[in-house]
């Protein structure tokens, strides 16, 4: 039961971080995109919903890889551990 409460607390924190990040994007969108969001409101809304979902999963993955106490249990940790060998040359290539 204690583990469940801990996971629920972490999920709430991640949702809060995701919501803050998502709200900030409303202000920064006009600096990034040339089109106004009001011109294509339907597409803009769909993109914002997808962004919220992706942000949550990105933050959850970052938590599970770097901050979790029982990271060995999570698939994300194992994928990151073995993908690291391939990511180092790719990152070096992008920097150069």
**Could you report the per-residue pLDDT of 32-77, keeping only the tens digit for each?**
888 787 788 898 899 999 999 999 999 999 998 888 888 778 888 8
Confidence of residue 23 (pLDDT cuts 50, 70, 90): very high
Give the whole-angstrom CA distance, residue 57 versus residue 60.
5
Let me know: does 64 contact 76? Beta carbons within 8 Å. yes
* Domain locations in the chain as residue ranges: 2-95
pLDDT band at residue 2 under the 50/70/90 scheme: low
Mean pLDDT of the chain: 87
C-alpha to C-alpha distance for 95 and 93, rounded to whole angstroms: 5
């Amino acid at each position: 039961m204690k583990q469940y409460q801990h996971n629920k607390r972490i999920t709430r924190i991640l949702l809060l971080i995701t919501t803050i990040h998502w709200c900030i994007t409303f202000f920064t969108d006009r600096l990034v995109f040339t089109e106004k969001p009001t011109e294509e409101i339907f597409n803009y809304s769909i993109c914002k919903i997808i962004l919220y979902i992706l942000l949550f999963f990105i933050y959850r993955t970052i938590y599970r890889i770097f901050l979790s106490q029982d990271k060995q249990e999570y698939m994300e940790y194992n994928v990151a551990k073995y993908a690291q060998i391939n990511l180092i040359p790719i990152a070096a290539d992008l920097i150069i």
